[in-house]
Amino acid sequence: MRTIHSEKHRLRAPQTELSGGRLVRPFECPERVEHILSRIAQTGLGPVEPPVAHGLGPARAIHAPDYLDFLATVWERWRAAGHEGEAIPTVWPSRRMGRRGAPQAIDGALGWYALAGETAISSGTWEAAQAAADVAVTAADLVLGGARSAFALCRPPGHHAAQDMYGGYCFLNNAAIAAQRMREAGAERVALLDVDFHHGNGTQAIFEDRADVLFLSLHGDPAQEFPHFLGGADETGVGAGEGFTVNYPLPPGTGYAAWAEALEDALGRVAAFGADALIVSLGVDTFRGDPISSFRLESDDFADYGRRIARPGLPTLFVMEGGYAVAEIGVNVVNVLTGFEG
Ligand code: SP5
Ligand code: ZN
């Protein structure tokens, strides 16, 4: 399997994450990618190649123009306002506040576009996010060109980013951008299976009213886990998209038996949908050793579910999302990919 990867991910290197009332070193750190690359080399998974630059066109097909302008300018505006730390929102357009649109001041604009406050923005964030979208598009093009599979080693991740919201370590929704790319290249139906521990709220919001992209997500129950405000089993799609969103919220402590049962149900729905291609939002924060998550998958379970995902026989694009047990992230990710290859 070919991997697409950009060294520009290193430009996403914030020093802070607001966690438990403290500023800590971010869980979503550059070493994550280095561990995955070493494991790819060690196992001989296949070549690692740089992305082709596509400019903002593919991102514009998913994200709002004002949001992209915000991402492009937020760091300069934050610095120009005289702030010395990294850009973190402190105020939101919450319930019972009426504003409709970003206010002029950057402090207000941050809250307008942020869905969570843990994700700090710093100098290279925008460049790295654009490179991650290029990685996703380039890998999608390999699959469109006839490859059985490809791995988009995106960083920063994307599945929490909605049309006009960032947070949960995500800025551009790499998997959604890839899905739209596939649709525009002629795939009639694309299934997007999100196996990250956290609900893919951004991806769901982007596709909830569409019947051409089936979104399925296995995740920690939002009553207990981030992102808390989306991901219930009762969310099944909107309007023409009714029936094309499928959520599997699972309780803290979920182990592989229960998780795999939900996966089998999801794969059955992918087959019934008649998908032309499958995109997997691949987060390995379901691992038992993950520092911010509560499922109990073992490293061998990742290989097992990789084999299961291969069974429908669909052209498959893997898009990297979360996973914060840094020492084991390479083994867990590559286990999925080699399990898939059989
Ligand atoms: C892409 C992705 O996996 N994003 C996840 C973002 C989660 N950020 C907030 C996590 C808060 C977790 N708090 C639990 C601490 C348990 N010690
Ligand atoms: Zn996650």
Q: What residues have CB less than 8 Å from 257, skipping those under 6 apart? A: none
**27 close to ligand 1 (CB < 6 Angstrom):** no
Question: Cα of 197 to ligand 2 centre, how many Å?
Answer: 5
Residue with the smallest CA separation from ligand 1 atom 1 is 322
Does the annotation mark 160 as catalytic? yes
Helix (H) or strand (E) holding 182: helix 174-184
pLDDT classification of 99: cutoffs 50, 70, 90: confident
Question: Cα of 246 to ligand 2 centre, how many Å?
Answer: 18
Question: Cα of 148 to ligand 1 centre, how many Å?
Answer: 32
Q: Beta partners for 280?
A: 193, 318
Residue with the smallest CA separation from ligand 1 atom 8 is 168
Q: Are strands 17-19 and 22-24 parallel, antiparallel or unpaired?
A: antiparallel
Per-residue pLDDT, averaged over 213-219, amounts to 99
pLDDT classification of 131: cutoffs 50, 70, 90: very high
**292 close to ligand 1 (CB < 6 Angstrom):** yes
Render 261-281 in DSSP notation, one character per residue.
HHHHHHHHHHHHHT-SEEEEE
Q: Could you read off the pLDDT of 288-321 as tens digits, one per residue?
A: 999 999 999 999 999 999 999 999 999 999 999 9
Question: Among 49, 109, 52, which Cα is nearest to 77's?
Answer: 109
Render 56-108 in DSSP notation, one character per residue.
THHHHTTS-HHHHHHHHHHHHHHHHTT--S-B-------TT----S--SSHHH
Indicate if the pLDDT at residue 278 is higher than 90.
yes
Q: Is residue 67 part of a domain?
A: no
**226 close to ligand 1 (CB < 6 Angstrom):** yes
Per-residue pLDDT, averaged over 122-133, amounts to 99
What value does the mean pLDDT of the chain take?
A: 98
CA distances from residue 154 to 8, 41, 317, 331 in whole angstroms, order as listed: 10, 17, 12, 17
Number of domains in the chain: 1
Per-residue pLDDT, averaged over 230-241, amounts to 98
The pLDDT of residue 198: 99
Indicate if the pLDDT at residue 95 is higher than 90.
yes
ipTM over the 0.95 cut-off? yes
Q: Could you read off the pLDDT of 150-192 as tens digits, one per residue?
A: 999 999 999 999 999 999 999 999 999 999 999 999 999 999 9
Q: Is residue 297 part of a domain?
A: yes
Query: What range defines the domain where residue 184 resides?
Result: 2-13+25-58+124-341
Token reading at 255: 């182990």
Q: Is residue 98 part of a domain?
A: no
CA 76 – CA 125 distance, rounded (Å): 12
| Among 51-55, 95-99, 140-144, the least confident range | 95-99
The pLDDT of residue 40: 99
Q: Is residue 78 part of a domain?
A: no
CA 240 – CA 212 distance, rounded (Å): 10
Residue with the smallest CA separation from ligand 1 atom 13 is 292
Indicate if the pLDDT at residue 98 is higher than 90.
no
pLDDT classification of 261: cutoffs 50, 70, 90: very high
Q: Beta partners for 250?
A: 220
Helix (H) or strand (E) holding 193: strand 190-194
Indicate if the pLDDT at residue 42 is higher than 90.
yes
Q: Is residue 271 part of a domain?
A: yes
**227 close to ligand 1 (CB < 6 Angstrom):** no
What CATH number should be reported for the domain holding residue 46? 3.40.800.20
Q: Is residue 198 part of a domain?
A: yes
Would you tell me how many other CB atoms lie within 10 Å of the CB of residue 258? 16
Which amino acid is present at 327? Answer: A
Question: To the nearest whole percent, how much of the chain has pLDDT over 70?
Answer: 100
Q: Which residues of 284-318 are buried (b: 16+ CB within 10 A; e: fewer)?
A: bbbbbbbebbbbbbeeebbbbbbeebbeeebbbbb
Q: Is residue 140 part of a domain?
A: yes
Q: Is residue 84 part of a domain?
A: no
Which amino acid is present at 333? Answer: V
